Amino acid sequence: MNTELHFLPGAKFAQIETDALVVVLGKNAPPWSGEAGAAVKELYDSGEFTGKTLEIATLHHPADHAAKRLVLIGRGEGKLGSPLDLWRLAGAVTRHLKAKNLRRLAFAVPTELETEAAITAILTGVASGNFDPDTYKSDRQPERQISQLSLLLPESADRSAAEAAVRSAAIIADGHQFARELANEPGNRLTPTQMGERAQAMARAAGLECEIIGAERARELKMGAFLSVAQGSAEPPVMIVLRYRGAPGSKDVLGLIGKGITFDSGGISIKPAANMELMKFDMSGGAATLGAMKAIAALKPKINIVAIVPASENMPGGKAQKPGDVQIAMSGKSIEVLNTDAEGRLVLSDALHYAQQLGATRLVDSATLTGAVVVALGNVNAGVFANNEEFYQLFQRALAQTGEKMWRLPLDQEYADQIKGTVGDILNTGGRWGGAITAAEFLNAFVGSTPWIHLDIAGTAWLEENKPWMPKGPTGSPTYTLIALARVLAEA
């Protein structure tokens, strides 16, 4: 997408030639002079446009404007609250206009947010709105998207900061797109091996170090928990390891771990048939991790990162692990497998331990881990768990930059007691109650005192119905926040 910046007095915005000039408005008609202003006031007076959130109205060939259309989009009551609000508006207007086969869009940047934050929200929102999940449709029309974006800023805006924001936002949007493309792939077209190949190709292009650990090497490393999940599958597992060295003189290393189950049948504890096809998205945490690393390599923050994606299939073959089996994790802990559908925590346990062996001093894992977190938080917020308050506060700074919705849930010894083993050290499920928390406590057993954050994205990684700003399908969450966290830590 070609992006241009225009620094103009407000009155000069009308001189921009484009298919659609987008203006964000609230519940009250703006004091807008001229014929176009009168037409906008008439829309308000008639009730055709009220300014409610995500409402869109179009004036064709507005008087005194070079744009072919003046597009109004509502922000609701008050001012924009966060970058997420503006990101959604940008995505919604993109999807609205590209459906009408428009290509060029000019966006008057609202002044409620800081200029850099507003630019990032608009550019990434437009790029996100351009995405469609119809990858394999024979009549697909990938050219139907916004290809030219003009951002209209007041003359007083800082030009160099705005230009830097455009450059970084384009990189962030590209990483987010990569994550969504991976998560959208069917299980037969993104096996663990193929996921490793896609990661290798990305790493070569981005300048990242990449190692693919196959089953034989994983056995040498005693990754018993990781290997157990793939026992029933004809597809071999791989553990993808990426390294970014942005601060060679520092011993601090951020570990990013993403669950990479490319298809999850549940194994012997097989899932119901209804909606099982969606289980291709069980590698969304891994996809977000890879997308974030793609962007981080281009943004070049001064930080060291090791990223690990344990990629595997969970299938009910003749060699599959069974309820009651005991697996020995890389750390030496023994795991009683009560439910083979609680497989994500098994692959993550070895990945978290290995990340620490590779020098990680802080850990973040992203995983579509539990249905229980969806029961608790619905499809609105991801669940966040943290064992270190200082690290959590830094994470909160990253969240404030992106606006991605997450809610902190507790860690507590009484939940950990629910997964104490009988014949092994630890159970891989704590039963029905508090399932998201007992899953987090399982992972907590493998991180020790290392500062760690766990993101349970089972409810937010996939949209089950269309939204104005995004079609049903992969959301790319939490790619934006992982990128922002790397930059926050580099600055800190």
User: Does the structure show a pLDDT above 80 at 311?
Assistant: yes
Looking at the structure, tell me whether residues 357 and 443 fall in a common domain: yes
Question: How many CB atoms within 10 Å of residue 286?
Answer: 32
Q: Residue 51: its pLDDT value, please?
A: 95
Looking at the structure, tell me whether residues 113 and 232 fall in a common domain: no
Q: Residue 473: its pLDDT value, please?
A: 98
Task: Go through the chain and tell me how many residues it has.
Answer: 492
pLDDT digits (tens, 9 = 90+) for 471-480: 999 999 999 9
Range of the domain at 313: 177-491
Q: How far is it, in rounded angstroms, from Cα 376 to Cα 225?
A: 27
Structure tokens at 288: 């977000």
Q: Residue 104: its pLDDT value, please?
A: 97
Buried b (16+ CB within 10 A) or exposed e, 379-406: bebbbbbbbbeebbebbeebbebbbbeb
> What element of type H or E holds 415?
helix 413-417
Cα 18 vs. chain centroid, distance in angstroms? 31
Q: Residue 28: its pLDDT value, please?
A: 83
Looking at the structure, tell me whether residues 117 and 192 fall in a common domain: no
> What element of type H or E holds 254?
strand 253-258
Q: Count of domains in the chain? A: 2
Three-state DSSP class for 289?
helix
Single out the residue in 153, 186, 208 at which a domain terminates: 153
Among all residues, which ones are annotated catalytic? 271, 345
Q: What is the arithmetic mean of pLDDT over 155-160?
A: 95
Looking at the structure, tell me whether residues 223 and 145 fall in a common domain: no
Q: How far is it, in rounded angstroms, from Cα 111 to Cα 119?
A: 11
Confidence bin at 81 (pLDDT 50/70/90): confident
Looking at the structure, tell me whether residues 196 and 47 fall in a common domain: no
Cα 85 vs. chain centroid, distance in angstroms? 16
Confidence bin at 280 (pLDDT 50/70/90): very high
pTM of the predicted protein model:
0.97
Q: How far is it, in rounded angstroms, from Cα 405 to Cα 78?
A: 20
Asked whether residue 165 is assigned to any structural domain, the reply reads: no
Q: Residue 34: its pLDDT value, please?
A: 85
Asked whether residue 172 is assigned to any structural domain, the reply reads: no
Buried b (16+ CB within 10 A) or exposed e, 80-108: bebbbbbbbbbbbbbbbbbeeebebbbbb
Question: How many CB atoms within 10 Å of residue 462?
Answer: 21
Share above pLDDT 70 across residues of the chain, in percent, rounded to a whole number: 100
Q: Within 13 Å, how many C-alpha atoms sit on residue 238's CB side?
A: 21
> Helices 284-299 and 159-184 meet at what angle, rounded to 10?
150
Q: Which residue has the higher pLDDT, 78 or 136?
A: 136
CATH number of the domain enclosing 88: 3.40.220.10
Q: What is the arithmetic mean of pLDDT over 132-136?
A: 96
Residue type, 264: D
Mean residue pLDDT across the chain: 97
Q: What is the arithmetic mean of pLDDT over 394-413?
A: 97
Q: What is the arithmetic mean of pLDDT over 342-348?
A: 98
CATH number of the domain enclosing 428: 3.40.630.10
Cα 456 vs. chain centroid, distance in angstroms? 12
Asked whether residue 171 is assigned to any structural domain, the reply reads: no
Cα 155 vs. chain centroid, distance in angstroms? 34
Looking at the structure, tell me whether residues 295 and 328 fall in a common domain: yes
Single out the residue in 108, 137, 153 at which a domain terminates: 153
- Pick the closest to residue 385 from 333, 428, 443 (CA basis): 443
Asked whether residue 335 is assigned to any structural domain, the reply reads: yes
pLDDT digits (tens, 9 = 90+) for 349-375: 999 999 999 999 999 999 999 999 999
Q: Does residue 478 have a cis peptide bond before it, meaning omega lies within 30 degrees of 0?
A: yes
In the block, residue with structure tokens 């190709």: 201
Confidence bin at 33 (pLDDT 50/70/90): confident
Residue type, 291: G
Q: Residue 376: its pLDDT value, please?
A: 98
Looking at the structure, tell me whether residues 337 and 436 fall in a common domain: yes
Looking at the structure, tell me whether residues 87 and 211 fall in a common domain: no
Looking at the structure, tell me whether residues 316 and 374 fall in a common domain: yes
Strand ranges in 170-245 using DSSP code E only, listed in sequence order: 209-213, 238-245
Looking at the structure, tell me whether residues 350 and 455 fall in a common domain: yes
Looking at the structure, tell me whether residues 198 and 149 fall in a common domain: no
Asked whether residue 299 is assigned to any structural domain, the reply reads: yes
Q: Residue 128: its pLDDT value, please?
A: 98
Asked whether residue 169 is assigned to any structural domain, the reply reads: no
Asked whether residue 160 is assigned to any structural domain, the reply reads: no
Asked whether residue 389 is assigned to any structural domain, the reply reads: yes
Looking at the structure, tell me whether residues 359 and 457 fall in a common domain: yes
Share above pLDDT 90 across residues of the chain, in percent, rounded to a whole number: 94
Q: Residue 78: its pLDDT value, please?
A: 86
Single out the residue in 120, 153, 186 at which a domain terminates: 153
